[in-house]
A and B are shown apart, each in its own frame.
Chain A
Amino acid sequence: MMKKGWVAGIATTMAVSCVAPAAQDPPSPARQHEIVRLLQQDCGSCHGLTLKGGLGPALLPQALAGKSPEFLRDTILNGRPGTPMAPWRPFLNDVEAAWLVDRLLQGKTDAP
């Protein structure tokens, strides 16, 4: 069961590298894995491994409640000038950032 999902994940990644996905397709399972890892390790260096905050604010659902997903996605992709929050566009595309914001708002930030 597990194994099958994993294989399908790899297949999707390969497909993505050949054919550009439709804009609304969510990231492949393998890519989701990478994004969660990026979140925990790299975002975590400022927002905390458990996202409870550090130099950057907490990214837990309670902390983000009331902020629009578009606004948060824009922060992630374009950063906030004058603060240490950098633009992460070189590492994430629009669809991936939208997926990540969705996960943050739901508090589902463990590996999918």
Chain B
Amino acid sequence: MRRSVSVLFCAAVALGGCATAELRGTGDLGVIVERASGAVQVMDTTHRAPLARVTGLGDLSHASVVYSRDARYAYVFGRDGGLSKVDLLRGRLEKRIVQAGNAIGGAISQDGRLIAVSNYEPGGVRVFDAATLEAIADIPATFQNGERRSKVVGLVDAPDERFVFSLYDAGEIWVADFSDRRHPAVRKFPNAGVQPYDGTVTPDGRYYVAGLFGEDGLALLDLWNLNGGVRRVLPHYGRGEQKLPVYKMPHLDNWAMADGVAFVPAVGRNEVLIIDMRDWSEAGRITVAGQPVFVVARPDGRQVWVNFAPPNNDTVQVIDVPSRRITKILQPGKGVLHMEFTPRGEAVWLSVRDEDRVDVYATASLQRVGTLPVEKPSGIFFTARAYRIGQ
């Protein structure tokens, strides 16, 4: 019986070559970006083993990944404007286009049919068919009466076939409605804040939040009530004090929500800020080892893990959410760039760039339980992202 199934599968994939006929799901897979070699490794997170290495993806510094809704394909967004579709099961590059000169990331639409990419050069958002990567729409991020184009950051998907993003140079937030996919309706929110550097959406898809570099605070847009406009959250969190120099921009990846509060990196301060999710007021702050880059919550919200900008990028701190105390300081090695939890959070994978390693920690014991060789690893993205809004 078993053999006949694999023979059938083999016949089905005969065109693609049938090296391995083993059937498997993709729910426990992930992709790790090798930033300097233009490659990604496809990982099996159950056996903590590489399945394939896919090369030829271009400049992957600052690359990010989203997944098709069946979690079979990874869309890799490269710095050089490359958009690559990688087949996790066959371990190969399916298709690659170079859609701009300089890009920063992307998103997949609610229905999984559109891929949007945010570009620095030329500044704007371009949208592609997820199956074919054929161009669907182009939204130039123009401002000042069309005379300038802004770099675009913080692009996310949101319910009702929308993409939301921020214009770094213009200080605006735009909401693009793709209900009619060839004719997106764009609603612009000017004066959203000075130099938004990244953005994210809450896990329920309701609130879009942009981090601001040029002023203290975050910009908040309620996607259920666009007429309410953008409001400021945690204004003046720096209390007028001089900011520390920022040696690496923080990120807003998943919205780190736990126990009714959210944890966000402060800009130019060695602090993690806590926001009360009921009224968006400040609920406290935690002094940490350096300037936070990623502040990520374990899926159940019990812990928050923080990594840092240089020169503290050899350190990771773990915040215990109920007590809001740092309960563990780890020193995995130089250049800790990213952290990704397994879907239910029993483990977290850390990329340690300068040591060409990805380390796996058990979140209960906070001990290292595995390590994998990966060349200059940066982003780690597991397929559970396929089902999350805003990734």
Task: Identify the A interface with B (CB < 8 A).
Answer: 41-42, 44-46, 48-50, 52-55, 79, 82, 84, 86-88, 90-91
Contact = CB atoms under 8 A, between A and B. Distances in A.
B120 A84 contact: no
Contacts of B35: 49
Contact of B62 (A42, A54, A79, A84): A54
Interface string B116-127: 000011000000
A45 B153 CA distance: 14
Given A49-B79, A50-B79, 9 more contacts: A42-B248, A49-B61, A52-B101, A53-B102, A82-B214, A84-B195, A86-B247, A88-B247, A91-B311
B97 interface: no
Q: Which bucket holds chain B's interface residue count?
A: 20 to 34
B247 A42 contact: yes
12 contacts: A42-B248, A44-B61, A46-B249, A48-B59, A50-B59, A54-B120, A55-B168, A79-B245, A84-B197, A88-B247, A90-B311, A91-B310
B61 A48 contact: yes
Contacts of A90: 311
Contact of B151 (A41, A49, A55, A87): A55
Contacts, number: 63
Contacts of B195: 84
Contacts of B197: 55, 84
Nearest to B81: A52
B61 A50 contact: yes
Contacts of B121: 53
B36 interface: yes
A49 B59 contact: yes
Interface in B287-311: 310-311
B212 to A, nearest CB: 12
A42 B311 CA distance: 10
B80 A52 contact: yes
A90 B312 CA distance: 13
Nearest 3 pairs of A and B residues by beta carbon: A49-B61, A86-B245, A45-B248
B245 A87 contact: yes
Contact of A52 (B102, B213, B248, B311): B102
A98 to B, nearest CB: 20
B265 interface: no
B140 to A, nearest CB: 18
B120 A53 contact: yes
Given A42-B310, A55-B151, A84-B213, A48 B245 contact: no
Given A49-B61, A49-B79, A84-B213, A54 B102 contact: yes
A88 B246 CA distance: 10
A30 to B, nearest CB: 16
A46 B120 CA distance: 12
A86 to B, nearest CB: 3
Contacts of B153: 55
Contacts of B101: 52
Contact of B79 (A42, A54, A86, A88): A54
Interface string B200-218: 0000000000000110000
A108 B360 CA distance: 37
B102 A48 contact: yes
A52 B104 CA distance: 13
Contacts of A84: 195, 197, 213, 246, 249
Contacts of A48: 59, 61-62, 79, 102
